[in-house]
Amino acid sequence: ATPNPWWSNAVVYQIYPRSFQDTNGDGFGDLKGITSRLDYLADLGVDVLWLSPVYKSPQDDNGYDISDYQDIDPLFGTLEDMDELLAEAHKRGLKIVMDLVVNHTSDEHAWFEASKDKNDPHADWYWWRPAKPGHEPGTPGAEPNEWGGTFGGSAWEYSPERGEYYLHTFSKKQPDLNWENPAVRRAVYDMMNWWMDRGVDGFRMDVITLISKHVDANGELPGVAGSLSDDLPVGEEGYSSPWPFSMDGPRLDEFLAEMRREVFEGREGFLTVGEAQGVTPERNEHITDPDNGELDMLFLFDHIGIDQPAGKWDMTELELHKLKRSMVQQQKSVAQRGWSSLFFNNHDQPRSVSRWGDDSNEEMRVASAKALAMLLHLHRGTPYIYQGEELGMTNAHFASLDQYRDLESLNAFDQRVNKAKIQDAASMMCALAKASRDNSRTPMQWDASEYAGFTMPDAAVEPWISVNPNHAEINAAAEFDDPDSVYGFYKKLIAMRHNDSVVAAGSFHLLDEEDAYVYSFTRTLDATTLLVVINVSSRMSCIPSQTAAALDKVSAEDIVLTGTNAEAIIRQIQSGTLMPWSAF
């Protein structure tokens, strides 16, 4: 295992280009907009920028449906704009990681068009299955297959041109690629090398743990031969999830090791991070163990799902002991080998300051944003900041359905309220307000002007999605020079990770595991011990015993980073209590 690779004390910043900065007044963010904001990102101190997809795409799933991997969609600009962004970022010591979406393509990709002809070399590049028109795939006479796509409806779409159904784990415009076919893998590796040779510094790999499907000896998908409903739980909409058949399949390690050899061997200074829903911390250790030559790190989701035990649209309150348990499990599983990513936010998740913090008033919003940031960034692993998180940006709090843009949100409303009739409009509007992906996709809040500086104040068109009205108070211009702002706090956390090796390399140990409000842990490296104490709640909390014992040895000089001032912290310690969202 290579000791301490460069990314073990790096911080990654995720940009959702569509909502980051518009420079041509069309209401959509673009590549020139990212380039225009590189000095802000360099000031924040991050090391790597991960861009959500900017490739040619019909934009059915906001670019996660790619129709040409080697060209930029005009919505975002041109390949020359991409080259300029790479050059300008590298000048500032910033690396650029692209989003690799190769579990599926767009149905408008040339490969898929060609695949509709059974005699074309691309015929076997996707998961085609025969069936009578109007019936889902299945052997004649047996029950049709009931798999449902993630964004609603069946996971199978009929193509009249080919006279067969194709599989799509996501939307019907996102057909799954057949990774069993070596020609598919070759084409993906060639494309990846083309981008790496162009100067890209690595990839975030979209649902990469779905590329190996659990197929039987003759390549048959389980359940296609009959009704799936008795194999897998059928969703309330009458469909069962196809994910179990496609998650962490038998050839995943083989494919990832092959990709590493074919694309990254001989290269240096790159980063690979795989999105890995449903993958366990134990599997994380294997996949990220450098000796296995697969991926540098994964995004695991067990800590993200703790408030969605009954599904995405039934979000519950945060139960801190569940967060402790899953974070500690992730830390333990890579204590010897392998690595962790650290994230609470991304373009698919609601914003953590609203979800797990308290955005009900300015004071609690700032305090809880800082507390959650400290909690995450002082664990062992590579932290990921999602655009606007460093400002304490909140959920959208949309008032009407017509403000929503995400096909997942709109399809879920239609399927649950109108089709399956399992909940009424009012409760679904509440579920969307709490859990929808639109929450994290409102325009970046640069200043207090009409469109938050995301697009020109006199722009001919509105931004593609509503700007959050609270941009009047929450924006980069208001926070940039204020050391006590959320932005100022993120800068201190990032600087601490760069300057104090106990943050990147220290071993992790949780204190007071069962306490329902206080999250405290130590990081130890040689003779240095860092004690982190956070009151993860809007109520005053008593300091639990193990934490109190550790605090006995702490004096004011020892306190290096707090969400408030050290004197206030010392007073709290002396009183044996912690103020709401107190963090140090």
Spatial CA neighbour of 45 closest among 487, 397, 580: 487
Helix axes 281-288, 320-333, angle to 10 degrees: 30
How far, in Å, CA of 85 to CA of 91, rounded?
10
Tell me which of ligand TEU, Ca ion, none is bound by residue 334, counting a contact when its beta carbon lies within the kind-specific cut-off of 5 to 8 angstroms: none
- Burial (0-12, 13-18, 19+ Cβ within 10 Å), 193: middle
Q: Return the residues of window 139-198 that contact ligand TEU according to CB under 6 A.
A: 150, 170
Binding letters toward Ca ion, positions 30-49, x by CB under 5 A: x-------------------
Tell me which of Ca ion, ligand TEU, none is bound by residue 22, counting a contact when its beta carbon lies within the kind-specific cut-off of 5 to 8 angstroms: Ca ion
Our CB check for Ca ion shows the closer of 26 and 231 to be 26
Min CB(150)–ligand TEU separation in Å: 5
Spatial CA neighbour of 386 closest among 51, 42, 32: 51
Q: Is 545 in the site for Ca ion (CB under 5 A)?
A: no
Amino acid at the residue 550: A
Catalytic, 206? Answer yes
Task: Kindly provide the b/e burial profile for residues 132-164, where b requires at least 16 CB atoms within 10 angstroms of the residue's own CB.
Answer: eeeebbbeeeebbbbbbbbbbbbbbbbbeebeb
Min CB(457)–ligand TEU separation in Å: 30
Q: Which tokens belong to 540?
A: 């005053």
Q: Which tokens belong to 165?
A: 């159904």
Our CB check for ligand TEU shows the closer of 214 and 498 to be 214
In DSSP terms, which residues pair with 459 in a beta bridge? none
Our CB check for Ca ion shows the closer of 81 and 296 to be 81
Q: Left if phi > 0, otherwise alpha if psi is -120 to 50, otherwise beta: which for 581?
A: left
Our CB check for ligand TEU shows the closer of 428 and 550 to be 428
Tell me which of ligand TEU, Ca ion, none is bound by residue 239, counting a contact when its beta carbon lies within the kind-specific cut-off of 5 to 8 angstroms: none
Min CB(77)–Ca ion separation in Å: 8
Q: Return the residues of window 426-485 that contact ligand TEU according to CB under 6 A.
A: 437
Amino acid at the residue 348: D
Query: Cβ of 360: how many Cβ atoms within 10 Å?
Result: 12
Helix axes 252-259, 182-197, angle to 10 degrees: 40
Q: Is 136 in the site for Ca ion (CB under 5 A)?
A: no
Q: Is 295 in the site for ligand TEU (CB under 6 A)?
A: no
- Give all strands (DSSP E) within 117-235, no chain letters: 128-130, 156-159, 164-167, 202-205
Which of 107, 206, 294, 348 is an active site residue?
A: 206
Spatial CA neighbour of 497 closest among 388, 581, 373: 373
Q: Which of 348, 438, 479, 500 binds ligand TEU (CB under 6 A)?
A: 348
Q: Is 22 in the site for Ca ion (CB under 5 A)?
A: yes
How far, in Å, CA of 332 to CA of 281, rounded?
9
Catalytic, 358? Answer no
Tell me which of ligand TEU, Ca ion, none is bound by residue 61, counting a contact when its beta carbon lies within the kind-specific cut-off of 5 to 8 angstroms: ligand TEU
Per DSSP, helices labelled H in 213-307 are 243-246, 252-259, 281-288
For residue 35, the surrounding DSSP H or E stretch is helix 31-36
Q: Is 302 in the site for ligand TEU (CB under 6 A)?
A: no
How far, in Å, CA of 199 to CA of 85, rounded?
10
The span of 23-31, 286-294, 307-315, 384-392 binding Ca ion (CB under 5 A) equals 23-31
Q: Return the residues of window 377-416 that contact ligand TEU according to CB under 6 A.
A: 408
Q: Is 490 in the site for ligand TEU (CB under 6 A)?
A: no
- Burial (0-12, 13-18, 19+ Cβ within 10 Å), 448: middle
Tell me which of ligand TEU, Ca ion, none is bound by residue 24, counting a contact when its beta carbon lies within the kind-specific cut-off of 5 to 8 angstroms: Ca ion
Total chain residues near ligand TEU (CB under 6 A): 14
Of all residues in the shown chain, the one whose CB is closest to ligand TEU is 64
Our CB check for ligand TEU shows the closer of 185 and 347 to be 347
Our CB check for Ca ion shows the closer of 24 and 507 to be 24
Question: Can you say whether the dihedral through the CA atoms of 115, 120, 122, 124 is positive or negative?
Answer: positive
For residue 530, the surrounding DSSP H or E stretch is strand 528-535
Our CB check for ligand TEU shows the closer of 177 and 259 to be 177
Tell me which of Ca ion, ligand TEU, none is bound by residue 30, counting a contact when its beta carbon lies within the kind-specific cut-off of 5 to 8 angstroms: Ca ion
Q: Is 277 in the site for ligand TEU (CB under 6 A)?
A: yes
Q: Is 206 in the site for ligand TEU (CB under 6 A)?
A: yes
Non-local CB neighbours of 241 within 8 Å, separated by 6+ positions? 147, 148, 232, 233, 235
The span of 15-23, 125-133, 251-259, 477-485 binding Ca ion (CB under 5 A) equals 15-23
Tell me which of Ca ion, ligand TEU, none is bound by residue 28, counting a contact when its beta carbon lies within the kind-specific cut-off of 5 to 8 angstroms: Ca ion
Q: Which of 7, 20, 64, 165 binds ligand TEU (CB under 6 A)?
A: 64
Binding letters toward Ca ion, positions 457-476, x by CB under 5 A: --------------------
Spatial CA neighbour of 82 closest among 63, 54, 46: 54
Any idea which residue has 């659990």 for tokens? 214
Tell me which of Ca ion, ligand TEU, none is bound by residue 95, counting a contact when its beta carbon lies within the kind-specific cut-off of 5 to 8 angstroms: none
Q: Is 26 in the site for Ca ion (CB under 5 A)?
A: yes
Binding letters toward ligand TEU, positions 307-346, x by CB under 6 A: -----x----------------------------------
Binding site for ligand TEU (CB under 6 A): 61, 64, 101, 150, 170, 206-207, 275, 277, 312, 347-348, 408, 437
Binding site for Ca ion (CB under 5 A): 22, 24, 26, 28, 30
Question: Which residues are tagged catalytic?
Answer: 206, 275
